[in-house]
Structure formats: C-alpha cells, structure tokens
Amino acid sequence: MNKLNSFHTFISRKQALPAFALGGLLIAVLLVKLQPGPAHGTAALRVSSVEVVGAQVMPTRALAVGFGEVSPSLFLRANAEVTGRIVYVHPELKQGAFLKEGTPVLRIDDTSYVLALAQARADLAANRANKEELSVEKSNTEASLVIARRNLKIGENELARKKKLLKQGSVSRSSADKEEQSVLRLRQELQNLLSQDSLMPSRGQVIDAQIARAEAQVKDSDYKLKRTEILLPFAARVGEVHVEVGQFVMTNSPLFDASGMAQVEISAELPLMHARYLFQGLSVNGEGMPGLAGLDFSSLGLEARVSLIGGPPEAKWQGRVVRIGDALDNVSRTISMVVAVDSPYTQVIPGQRPPLIRGMYTRIELLAPATPAMVIPRRALHQGKVYVAHNNKLQIREVELEYHQGEFSVISAGIRVGEQVIVTDLVPALAGMPLEVSTDKALQDRLPILAMGEGGAP
C-alpha cells in the first residue's frame, strides 16, 4: 500500500512527464526497427501508345488575316462651285440609284454668268480695238514726224536767208522776227510729235495688260458658267443628296455624294508580326525587296481573299494589295494593308453574293507565294521542344521555331526530314521511354493543305 501511494505521488509530480515521453519514443523506434523491409524487384516501364506524323519539307504559304471596312476607290462629295438657285435635278439623282459617266445631274441658274461672260467678251473686244487704234496712231505719228522734220529744215533755211538779207538791209527786222517765230512753232510741233511717239510703247503695254485682264475675265466667266451644270465624272452609285429644285446654294454648299463602281478598297489591319512573316523572303525578279517608294505590289505575288463578316459563306472575292499604311495604329499597334477589289458589282447573286458596298465589314486573308519549309502540327510543339519517336523510344528535341500559323508551325532547325514527330500528349514524357507508334494519316494528309493557306488563320 505504501508503494502504491509512493507511485501515485511520483506521477503527480511534474518531473514524471519527461520520463513518460522518453519511454513512448523508445517504443516507437523499436516498432519501426522490427517492421519487415519492402520487397525489392525490377518493374518494367509502361509502353505508351502515340500517334506520329512524318516530318517533311513542303510548299508553305505565309498567311495573315486582317479586318476592315469597304470604301470605294473613287468617292465624290460634290460641292457647289458657284452661287445660285437650283433649276434642275436629274430624276434619278436619289440615294442608291446608278448613273452613267457624264450624266448631267444638277443645274444652277446661269443667267448672271451668261451676262458676265458677254460683258467680259465685250471688254476684251474693246481692248483689242484700242490696240489696233494705237497701231494706226503710231504709223500716223511716224509719218507726221517725217513731215515735221522736213518743214523745220525748210523753215530754218528760210530763217538763215532772211537773217542774211537783214544784215544787207534788204528785209526789215519785223520780217526776220516773223520768220524766226515760224521756225519756233515748227520746232514745237516736232517736239510734240516726238513726245507722242516716245509714249507709244508704254501705251501699248497698258493696252496689253488690259487685254490680258479681259482674257482672264473671259476665262473666269466661262469657267463659272460651265460650273453651273454638274456632270457625273464617273459611273457611280448615288449616296446622300442634299439639294432639291428651287433651293439657293452658296459656294461650297454640299450637293450630293457618289461612290465609284469600278473598284473598292479595304484597309485591313494586321498585327505587325503577321505582316512580317508575309513579306519575309519576298523578292521582285529574284533581286530582293526594293524600297516601298514606287513598288508595284502586284509583282510580289501576294494573294488577297475577301469574305464578308456575317454574310453568306460563299460570298468571296479576289483582291490585290495596292499599298501599305504609313504608320502603326496607336491603340491596336497594327499596320494597314490596303486591298483593292475590282468590279465589286459584277457576278451578284441575290441572297448569296451581294455587291461590295461602302461600310461593309470584311475579313481579309493575305497569302505570300509558296516557299519550301519544314512544317509540323502545332500541337506537337511543347515549350520549344518536340517529341520524336526513334526506334520506338522517346527522344526530346530542342527546335528553332520560325512562326506559328493556324494548326501548324514552321521549324527552321532541330528536325530532320522523315523523322516521326509525336502528336500525342505524353504525361509524363521521359526520354527513352518505350513507345507503341501509329501514324495519324488524316493529319499527315491534311498538313500540306494547311501549309498552302487552306486552313485556319494565324
């Protein structure tokens, strides 16, 4: 009983706790040590089934896709060039109507312009008559000068004779003085004629200036008269019409809008990276890319396919690249490629193929000429690495990527022709693991089609 009381006293003390903890730890170590060890053996690696395609170099067309609105290549926003009242409007000058080139569509009252032209022509005729009169006057002055010089010479001779006779006392002083006065009058007449003759060139210049001004006035009046009738400069579809008969218009007042029907343009916005792949390796006659100034884009062999967003799937048009935008878009950081489509109103099929008209939103596929490239499915690329099946074993290759396009990627190094590229996801992928290989024939056959731009967009 005393021992039992002593034990209860011991465990009630705080010093007993470390002793119990140490005892428990020793028991746990003994249990682990006495456990039998695991059985060791050699386990075989699991064989993974994979699908492959053969790596091959094939004709490849770089593809870039952009979007943009249709606008006519020729767009007329007609404004009045003269002031007046509208006296005629073509009955077909209505929104949506089609009019031929040269059609007189508007006429402004020309009464004041006809009168102004008549007055300008009369002023011109008067100035030309003054020119003729001056020519006659010059001829008469020159003839009068000859006569005046002759009269003056005769008068001076007579004066000299009378002065001689005066010294001899044969004539009176008054007679000699009268003769001297007569000579002075002849000299005055000659001086007046000389003055008139010297002014002839300046008078001629004044009349020439008046004629030039009158001719300019005639041209201006004729120009304004012709501007009273507005002719359509090209075959067009009428847009908004702003005037009607009887309306008074001022200079620069809007009259109507018209869109040309021969060609439309679409400014397709492309990511700069995709545009770079489009032009990579292009050349003109094998001499590399020239400067953009004066470049004929048709010589680069770029193909443009136009389709309508939200339209029938069969509504497609062939276009051509005509120029490149001058700057990157500040927001989207894209560059514009301007595509032209000729004859947008031909081959229209109601309900299936509408005409391309201003404001339509389109999808543009731009394709470069075909060049040979190593093409693999895009899903075969794993963060810059490709899985290759070699002798039914997995090899992991580092590759150099040229670019992605749709469902495939173009590789510049790291894969050889004929090697089996794995297109199945392997988790985990361990180099050397055994493989059971089968060919994905459908994908193998589809790759050349994708590479020629018949697949998805980049």
Rounded distance, CA 444 to CA 441, Å?
5
Strands (E), 95-172: 98-99, 104-108
The answer to whether the predicted template modeling score (pTM) of the entire model surpasses 0.85 is no
Report how far apart, in Å, the C-alpha atoms of 115 and of each of 29, 109, 121, 128, 223 are.
Answer: 126, 12, 10, 20, 13
pLDDT on residue 41: 40
Alpha helices by DSSP H, listed for 280-363, are none
Closest CA to 382 of 433, 423, 410: 423
Contact (Cβ atoms closer than 8 angstroms) between residue 452 and residue 59: yes
Tokens of 237: 């579809």
Whether 63-71+262-367 and 78-102+233-260 share one fold: the answer is no
For residue range 260-312, what is the model confidence (pLDDT) as tens digits? 999 999 998 888 777 777 776 555 454 544 455 555 666 677 888 999 998 88
DSSP assignment string, 410-458: EEEES--TT-EEE-S--SS--TT-BEEEEE-HHHHHHHHHIIIIIS---
Q: What is the pLDDT of residues 187-208, one digit of tens each?
A: 898 888 888 888 888 888 999 9
Torsion angle, CA of 11/16/20/21, rounded to 10 degrees? Answer: 140
What does the pLDDT average to over 177-185? 87
Q: Report CA-CA distances (Å) from 125 to 116, 122, 217, 222, 409.
A: 14, 5, 12, 16, 81
Closest CA to 380 of 428, 443, 434, 436: 443
Cβ pair 387, 348 in contact under 8 A: no
Q: How far apart are CA 316 and CA 97, in angstroms?
A: 24
How does pLDDT run across 299-331, given as a tens digit for each residue? 677 888 999 998 888 888 999 888 887 777 778
The yes or no reply on domain 63-71+262-367 and CATH 2.40.30.170 is yes
Say if residues 247 and 122 touch (Cβ distance below 8 Å): no
CB 411 within 8 A of CB 454: no
Determine the CATH number of domain 78-102+233-260: 2.40.50
Q: Do 152 and 190 touch, CB atoms closer than 8 A?
A: yes
Do residues 316 and 307 lie in contact, with contact meaning Cβ atoms separated by under 8 Å? Answer: yes
% of the chain exceeding 70 in pLDDT: 85
How many angstroms from the chain centroid is the CA of residue 195? 67
- DSSP code, position 325: -
CATH of 49-58+373-454, one of 2.40.420.20, 2.30.40.10, 3.30.565.10, 1.25.40.10: 2.40.420.20
In this prediction, residue 88 has a pLDDT band, given cuts at 50, 70 and 90, of very high
Residue 369: is its pLDDT beyond 80? yes
Domain boundaries, the chain: 49-58+373-454, 63-71+262-367, 78-102+233-260, 112-226
Q: Locate 264 and state its tokens.
A: 């439309």
Cα–Cα distances in Å, from 418 out to 66, 93, 154? 35, 67, 124
Using omega within 30 degrees of 0 as the cis cutoff, is the peptide bond preceding 428 cis?
A: yes
